A and B are shown apart, each in its own frame.
Chain A
Amino acid sequence: MYKMMLFAVMLLGTSAVQAGDGTVIDEVLAGYQAEGVGSFSAEHGKEMWIAKHEGPLGLDGNPSGEAFKIRRDDEPRSRSCQTCHGTDLSLPGKHWRTGKLINPMSPKAKPVEVDEDDGPRFSDKAKIEKWFLRNCKWTVGRECTGQEKGDLLSFLRNQ
């Protein structure tokens, strides 16, 4: 009985400190592995983070994906994660169109835009998936695979 209680207390303890300590990332990664992904590579995640993709008007003049249907004059010629998140992960990014500040991607960095409903970086599973969906389609022109998302998270969590 005593052991069970101790176990329950331990469980409670872990869920209380869940936000921001990486347990959510672990859960998400485990989810990708359950779908058949092997191991993750932070190195590949970094490559993806800086990789540039053709914008709607590629060098050959062809759109390279479904997301690139419309082109506006002020749209960046090539797209990468850094278009909006910037090159320094400890600093806030800025959305290329709206100019809205984006909190730093580094889990260690202090958020600039504080929303009371917002937890630290990578503390909300649904939010992680929402932004992977939107941003992969905008940047790469398609959804990212579990492997790719896992690699990106593995890279970002240690920044």
Chain B
Amino acid sequence: MLKKIFALLLLVFLQSSWAFAHDIFGFPRHRGVEPLVDKKYESSCGECHFAYQPGLLPSRSWAKMMRPEQLEDHFGENAELAEKERLYILKFLTENGADKTWHYKRSVKINQSIPENVTPLRITETPYIKKKHMEIPRRMIQDNKKVRGLSYCNKCHTEAVSKGQFSRTNVDIPNFRNWDDLID
């Protein structure tokens, strides 16, 4: 009986110290990006597109994107915000950028793939995301009317919005249910 209790205690200790070690040494512990939700971010940006989690781009990218003149020409669209809202969202995005975490694997990978002197504005142009989608043929994404482009993450990544998960197992490409058999 005593042995059992001891073993149980040891197990609990090992498990907690394992998690602790992860925190201390900064190993990424989660597979996706942090699934941050913010009401103002949702209403200001999510009205037009999937509210990309801040962990998908480094803070310097968000800072550039949120400049007034950038918002005026936001990939060809006008996305201007009232100054109060702009500053709020700028803060939310830059405080939670991909370079600010060690615990979310995708953020770390995205951030590490970008050269220091580059400030990408498009998530789809970061080397890691590019590499990850390289093998997917055009007919499944760009020429697929139900997807239309890499920027529509949530069309295929079914858990992108709710959980910030982008693993292969959660991918469902519209019109190509069997995509996994078609790509090596």
Chain B positions within 8 Å of A135 at CB level: 78
Instruction: Give the contacting residue for A117; candidates B39, B80, B81; CB below 8 A.
Output: B39
A-B contact count (CB 8 A): 38
B2 within 8 A of A: no
B129 within 8 A of A: no
Chain B positions within 8 Å of A126 at CB level: 82
User: Which of B10-18, B53-61, B69-77, B117-125 is found at the contact surface with chain A?
Assistant: B69-77
Say whether A67 contacts B43, CB under 8 Å: no
Interface size classification for chain A: 20 to 34
B91 within 8 A of A: no
The secondary structure that dominates the B interface is loop
State the CA gap A127–B154 with chains docked (Å). Answer: 25
B134 within 8 A of A: no
Residues of chain B in range 1-56 having any CB-CB distance to chain A below 8 Å? 39, 42-43, 48-49
B133 within 8 A of A: no
Q: How many residues of B contact A (CB 8 A)?
A: 16
- Nearest CB in chain B: distance from A78 CB, A: 15
A77 within 8 A of B: no
Say whether B49 contacts A100, CB under 8 Å: yes
Chain A positions within 8 Å of B79 at CB level: 134
Say whether A70 contacts B73, CB under 8 Å: yes
State the CA gap A72–B73 with chains docked (Å). Answer: 13
Residues of chain A in range 125-152 having any CB-CB distance to chain B below 8 Å? 126, 129-130, 133-135, 137-138
Instruction: Give the contacting residue for B78; candidates A98, A99, A134; CB below 8 A.
Output: A134
A97 within 8 A of B: yes
Say whether B77 contacts A97, CB under 8 Å: yes
Kindly supply a per-residue 1/0 record for chain B positions 77-93, scoring 1 wherever the CB is within 8 Å of any chain A CB and 0 otherwise: 11111100000000000
Instruction: Give the contacting residue for A100; candidates B43, B48, B78; CB below 8 A.
Output: B48
- Nearest CB in chain B: distance from A149 CB, A: 15
Kindly supply a per-residue 1/0 record for chain A positions 99-116, scoring 1 wherever the CB is within 8 Å of any chain B CB and 0 otherwise: 110000000000000000
Instruction: Give the contacting residue for A72; candidates B48, B49, B76, B80; CB below 8 A.
Output: B76
Instruction: Give the contacting residue for A130; candidates B42, B72, B76, B81; CB below 8 A.
Output: B81
Chain A positions within 8 Å of B73 at CB level: 67, 69-70
Residues of chain B in range 82-137 having any CB-CB distance to chain A below 8 Å? 82
**A-B contact list, 19 entries, CB within 8 Å:** A67-B73, A67-B78, A70-B76, A95-B48, A97-B77, A98-B49, A98-B152, A99-B148, A100-B48, A117-B39, A117-B43, A126-B82, A129-B82, A130-B81, A130-B82, A134-B78, A137-B80, A138-B77, A138-B78
A residues neighboring B (CB under 8 Å):
66-67, 69-70, 72, 75, 95, 97-100, 117, 126, 129-130, 133-135, 137-138
